[in-house]
Copies of this chain bind each other. A is one copy, B any other.
Amino acid sequence: MNNKPIDFFFAPASIAIVGASPEKGKLSGIIIESLKGSGFNGKVFAINPKYTQVLGIPCLPSIQEIKGTVDIAIFCVPAKVIPHLLSEGAGSIKGAVIVSGGFAETGEEGKALEKEVKDISRRLGVRVIGPNCLGIYDTVSRLDTFFIPSERLKRPAKGGLSIISQSGSFAVTAMDELSREGIGVARVISYGNKADVNESDLLGFLSEDNATSVVALYIESIEDGQRFIETAKRCSLKKPLLAVKVGKMGAGASAARSHTGAMTGRYEIYRAAFRKAGIAEVSGYEELIDGCKALCLQARAKGKRVMIITDGGGMGVNIADAAAAGGLSVPGLDESVKEGIKDAFPPFFAAGNPMDLTGSVTNEQFALAFEKTMSEDFFDIAIIAALWGPPGLSDSLVSLLAQKAGEIKKPVVICSPGGAYARERDRLFRESGMPVYATPEAAVRAAKALAGRGHLQSKDNG
């Protein structure tokens, strides 16, 4: 194992792009554009014996020509030449990001090349992220090694979420979708075949990283289980940690193997490890996205008792079913709560859990129901399903609810399903800081993430 710290990857003062080329359509060109777009203000060198300048950046014939030590060398040259270039340049760099494919994911020849990279990394003390990866997008150090043009992938704003993913496309798609929902990121690391730096290294860093408040993991395989559990445990005590393990069985498992050359192992072992480590396992992309959004916007709940308030009875029942299936608890109303509501509400409001305020509801009654049920210690999370049909509901419902939520100081999840009218109200909820979801099931996935610290057993995963 390579024990040198990896912190420098997230605060580099200098970067070299090995294989930089001015030719159109080359990965290196996109990476240079990404770096420029990120506002990185350290030194940047291009490395290529053919040029003296590439896209406005000074170009040297080899890494060794650079004076002093470079923090990160980004390799975008064919797999075959990487071992040679890496060992030659090792004395001049702290770390490498190898974005090139053509390694263990392609067969025996690639596996041998990857083993060479691994050996060089250990022998010469160079930390390596990749190969077969996108590298790092980091809003704190303003680093961006992603070779996806900005017109295809709008870079997210700064935020508290960090993502660690073997799959580059998974990481990118998740951050892109969350960014559209107003969720920013701190560090996103696509680490591919992990010839050297792995999830345990990265988790160790994020655990101590003040810029990171929520960690999402996409995992195909873990090799050093004991170290992973210890690191994750330390991390999950400080901040929520959501993980999706793909390649659970059959076709998925063999696909994961051919994807990053990973040994996926038995799924049950992963489940047990996650539980031990305090990681909340999610069933896939959807649960990861919905959970991250909730955890970035709301504090974690103290337990899993959910109160459901709605003006659409059917939707309320659907949420209750989904909550029960997801391992949340939906207790009935305490008599004292019922008593407190009785005089405030007409008799046809269903004073239970879910509470159905019917099509006769007003903004004020919605807020009152929220206050009366959530103020005391009967529930940990509120799911508020606001259907916009009732004439008594208007846009100011959102600020009223947000105000109460601020007073009550318990996590709130909004479910606002429907068509154009509902979607146009999403912005109001987003501005209020309350996470909004378009389906009962998505709202429940959010509530699960808020309630869970690895102690919730999802039936979806079973």
* Interface, chain A (partner B; CB < 8 A): 25, 101-102, 105-107, 148-149, 151-154, 165-173, 176-177, 179-180, 218, 220, 244, 246-252, 254-256, 258-260, 283-287, 289, 308, 311-318, 320-325, 330-332, 347-348, 350, 352-354, 356, 358-359, 387-389, 391, 417-423, 438-442, 459-460, 462
Contacts and interface: CB of A to CB of B under 8 A. Distances in A.
A184 B283 CA distance: 32
11 contacts: A101-B348, A106-B348, A149-B391, A166-B314, A171-B314, A176-B419, A251-B330, A252-B324, A255-B350, A255-B354, A284-B322
A315 B101 contact: no
Given A247-B321, A286-B439, A315 B167 contact: yes
A218 B314 contact: yes
Contact of A177 (B151, B248, B438): B438
A258 B170 CA distance: 43
Contacts of A348: 101-102, 105-106
Residue from A166, A388, A418, A420 whose CB has the most chain B CB atoms within 10 Å: A418
Given A246-B317, A249-B324, A289-B439, 12 more contacts: A152-B389, A154-B421, A169-B315, A173-B315, A173-B418, A177-B417, A177-B419, A177-B422, A250-B320, A255-B350, A285-B439, A287-B441
A259 B151 CA distance: 49
Given A422-B176, A439-B289, A170 B320 contact: no
A171 B391 CA distance: 18
Given A324-B252, A356-B255, A284 B318 contact: yes
B148 A247 contact: no
Contacts of A169: 311-315, 359, 387, 389
Nearest to A393: B152
A255 B389 contact: no
B440 A387 contact: no
A101 B358 contact: yes
Contacts of A315: 167, 169-170, 173, 285
Given A317-B255, A321-B248, A312 B391 contact: no
A311 to B, nearest CB: 7
A258 B154 contact: no
A323 B419 CA distance: 28
A244 B439 CA distance: 14
Contacts of A254: 332, 352
Given A318-B246, A391-B149, A417-B177, A350 B25 contact: no
Nearest to A244: B318
A378 to B, nearest CB: 13
Nearest to A103: B348
Nearest to A346: B106
B347 A106 contact: yes
